[in-house]
Chains A and B, each alone.
Chain A
């Protein structure tokens, strides 16, 4: 069945360093890959997304890369700040289903 693997499960970085979270998906027909940030007690919030016809997308300190051949996609956060501390989820959408398959999450801690 459809599956998304995410790692690492926890990531601790010093403020100003970069953080990278990686995901692998199983369904080659997936065509939409969002990343969500979830703060304690809140619902997931979309921070960036990428479609299968694009290899990379950047929004200020956040970037996402997609390797369709390897079925890998990654989130890159540069110049991390303490407010980046949260749980991050990757997800994949099987073609035209509006259903997201989520990874298991990465708890990012940014230390001042």
Chain B
């Protein structure tokens, strides 16, 4: 069973640039959620994708957008990067309409905005 994989693991951008982060969900999972984890904080929900559509969104501006592909993999795009966007971005996969509710997290992509 393949776990959740994310790429890249680390990246550095400058203010105003755009970034795309990628996630491959765990085998058999059809739902992908993205979380932002600032240093020393708990993860904050950005949004979730199910059946290639956004299915719930947290308190993040529209410059945070995403995609889910037919193979259930996903991308997180952030436009017009700001310094406060520096964080660990976590992808988590799960099975919609499941009983257990367990989210499986990847190791994250650490974004630094200078």
Contact = CB atoms under 8 A, between A and B. Distances in A.
A29 to B, nearest CB: 14
A49 B43 contact: no
Given A32-B101, A98-B31, A99-B58, A43 B48 contact: no
A42 B55 CA distance: 26
Contacts of A43: 4, 90, 92, 105-108
B103 A100 contact: yes
Nearest to B46: A99
B15 interface: no
Interface stretch (A55-63, A71-79, A102-110): A102-110
Given A34-B102, A44-B105, A45-B105, A97 B42 contact: no
Interface of B: 4, 31, 33, 35, 40-45, 48, 55-56, 58, 90, 92, 94, 96, 100-108
Interface of A: 4, 6, 32, 34, 36, 41-46, 49, 51, 89, 91, 93, 97-105
